Structure 1
Amino acid sequence: MKNQDFSVSIIIPNLNGAKFLPNCLNSLLSSLKLAKIKNFEIILVDNASTDNSIQTFETIITNTPSVIPSEVEGSLSLSQNSRKARNLNKSRDSSIPLRSTRNDISYQIIQNSSNFGFAKAVNQGILKAKYNHVIICNNDLTIDKNWFKHISLAIRTNKNPKIVTFFGTVLNKNGTKIESRGLKFFISGKALNIDNGKPVILSANEESRRNQSQQKDSSTSSQNDASYFVWGSSASIVCYHKATLLKIGMFDPDFFAYEEDVDLALRLHNLKYKTLFIPQAISYHIGGATSSKMGNFRNRMDAKNWFYIIIKNYSKKEILNNLFPIIIERLRNLSGLIKQTIKIYKLKSVYILPTSLITTYGQIILNLPKMLKKRKNILKYKQV
């Protein structure tokens, strides 16, 4: 399969990310052009942004020079496209995406009436995606010009149907430190980004890492022999096999945001699916662009969602055998929530801290029946 035959849907969940979208989109389109990937679409899922995110997105798409010099049969002219987009945008329901094609760039815009959260927004994009490989891309992330070249090569040369996740190196925005080279999972209910915070020049030698990996990828060609398996990946930018996501239930919308990628990776791992790490596929991530303006939001989500992960995915034996470290980790989440709440709000009101705690842990209790129902279905098919 040539790159021209490689097809992918790129999903960008967005909340007030207008200032990040130009760099994100331009890097995606440049990399697609260099890799000569013709069959792609970009799906923006907007969670009721109050800035000009949608206008920014449309402006970039409609003013970008041709990515691949080819014509799409029956495509609309730009003027027709713009008029139809504006008219449809005024009358359509938020659940119905705007689908449009301008010569070589196919795109959709899904406008939500409120903030549905990261997980649900991504699921909306997955359901509307027309291609069988879907890429989740944060709006505050840019990719190296060769990112698609390396990812598409790994996918095209893959012969193992159990490899359904493809992930590259994520660096900080300056490219000086590593943010992630995949996820490492601990049974205590903790996941860490591999090599997080390490300077790029001092990071582990890839050849040594590959040789030490007990799950070395033997199904890829010599052109891609630097790739190896990791436990899972974050969802900052990652490529999934769409059919597998639909099969296992996609991201859990009850997580709203954060740890939904760990939950998905754990479910994939427990069904013996694999994540292939491609070191040369490099991206740059600002990180926290949305949540940094939302107080103790991330701490509340972390505390809640780790309980969800354990309730849903752990067998009774796993919980009992690891009860002490699980409790320690949950207390660490609680401590982080308390410290961050005090730091941000400085207890301007005596009600802020107890309100945060009651809201967070009350949500866990209220959703317990729902999580137990999901648990029953997940454990029924668990293979690890």
Structure 2
Amino acid sequence: MTDKNPSIGIVIVNYNGAKYQNAAIKTIKEQTYQNYQIVVVDSASTDDSVELLVEAYGEDVTVLREKENCGFAAGSNIGIRYCLEHGADYILLLNNDVELDSLLLENLVADADENTVVVPKIYFYEPSDRIWAAGGILNWNHCETKHYGIEEKDIGQCDERQYVNFAPACCMLLHRSVFERVGYFDEAFFMYYEDTDLCVRLLENGYQILYEPEARMWHKVSSSSGGQNSKVSVYYIYRNQLYFMKKHSDKARFRGRCYAVLKAMTKAVTAPIRRKNDGVIFTAYLDYLKGKMYRKR
């Protein structure tokens, strides 16, 4: 029999989130579904985000302080283990640069079970009617992911509940059995592509990923890494794409791997002309070939 009021461990990884983290916590506290605990893993922040968090919410939030920046993958694993050890039935992975609709938890829990991972409709924070992700797809022919509906104004085109083969982990509800059967995030990724890797392993182990459009939230995209086109983001995306393709070489077709590398090299070569940060792709590739994974030192 399915528990109608399961406990949820909400895991948030913080790195210098003083400008937006408390706004995220505020919208969690406003949820209609209240059987949850909030665990913030602080990844050696150098701002006053932890102090502001404790001042505003005190014992309502458990803060686990790390001595160094451990990244999203390892930080999430630390929070997940803590929540499971303290009896959580489900884990909600959540970025700290988001704001939630008050019915988000209620709508996610309504669809979740031991075999179903549930993800919401995610909007850009600004403009707030533009979709960032309505679930997504992993295209093995290109070895890359795409968010459904991205950059589109929401006029109801993504209002159908559907199963997907990929979704970003900035908001994802998973049953505790996932971590017993599938395992945790691969910490070699540090950040970026760790969610893609997890989605592949979920499907390999018989889980389904359900997109639930009635669950809604807004995302201040890539705030902790300086923006989605910052040097930090570009570096980890392209280094980790190589690692991901090798790790799943049984699925990443040769044509797809060639496409991905050619696309990346084209972006890197033309970066000065386009005045983009894609020149860092060269460094990302060299570091991968040297076996430099986890956090860039």
TM-score bin, normalised by smaller chain: 0.7 to 0.9
The alpha carbon displacement at 1:365 in A equals 2.3
| Map of 1:243 onto structure 2 | 177
The alpha carbon displacement at 1:183 in A equals 1.7
The alpha carbon displacement at 1:345 in A equals 7.1
Higher helix share: 1
| Map of 1:275 onto structure 2 | 209
1:170 & 1:340 partners in 2: Cα distance?
30
Match for 1:150: what amino acid?
A: N
2:182 & 2:27 partners in 1: Cα distance?
31
The alpha carbon displacement at 1:337 in A equals 4.2
Check whether the contact 1:185–1:231 (CA below 8 A) recurs between aligned residues. Answer: yes
Which residue, out of 50, 56, 63, partners 1:54? Answer: 50
The alpha carbon displacement at 1:338 in A equals 4.8
Check whether the contact 2:43–2:71 (CA below 8 A) recurs between aligned residues. Answer: yes
Check whether the contact 1:17–1:53 (CA below 8 A) recurs between aligned residues. Answer: yes
| Post-superposition CA distance 1:312-344 (Å, at most 9, x none) | 1221xx45xx32332122221233345557735
| Map of 1:220 onto structure 2 | none
| Post-superposition CA distance 1:63-109 (Å, at most 9, x none) | xxxxxxxxxxxxxxxxxxxxxxxxxxxxxxxxxxxxxxx4xx3x321
Q: 2:154 aligned with 1:200, yes or no?
A: yes
Q: 2:94 aligned with 1:137, yes or no?
A: yes
Check whether the contact 2:165–2:209 (CA below 8 A) recurs between aligned residues. Answer: yes
2:172 & 2:158 partners in 1: Cα distance?
22
Change (3 A) 1:249 1:365: farther
Match for 2:14: what amino acid?
A: N
Match of 1:328, SS state, is helix
Q: Work out the percentage of aligned pairs sharing the same amino acid.
A: 20
Q: 2:107 aligned with 1:172, yes or no?
A: no
Match for 1:172: what amino acid?
A: F
1:172 & 1:119 partners in 2: Cα distance?
23
Cα RMSD after superposing both structures: 2.5
The aligned runs of 1:286-297 (5 Å cut-off) are 286-292=220-226, 295-297=230-232
| Post-superposition CA distance 1:96-132 (Å, at most 9, x none) | xxxxxx4xx3x32111212111111111111111213
1:338 & 1:253 partners in 2: Cα distance?
30
2:183 & 2:94 partners in 1: Cα distance?
19
The alpha carbon displacement at 1:357 in A equals 5.2
Which residue, out of 170, 178, 195, partners 1:261? Answer: 195
Larger radius of gyration: 1
| Map of 1:362 onto structure 2 | 286
The alpha carbon displacement at 1:12 in A equals 0.8
- Taking structure 2 as the reference length, the TM-score comes to 0.87
Change (3 A) 1:273 1:49: same
Structure 1: runs of 5 or more not aligned:
63-101, 210-226, 347-352, 371-384
Q: 2:80 aligned with 1:126, yes or no?
A: yes
1:340 & 1:254 partners in 2: Cα distance?
27
Q: 2:237 aligned with 1:302, yes or no?
A: yes
Check whether the contact 1:13–1:46 (CA below 8 A) recurs between aligned residues. Answer: yes
2:277 & 2:147 partners in 1: Cα distance?
29
Match of 1:200, SS state, is coil
Residue-pair matches, total: 286
The alpha carbon displacement at 1:166 in A equals 0.9
Check whether the contact 2:185–2:198 (CA below 8 A) recurs between aligned residues. Answer: yes
- Taking structure 1 as the reference length, the TM-score comes to 0.69
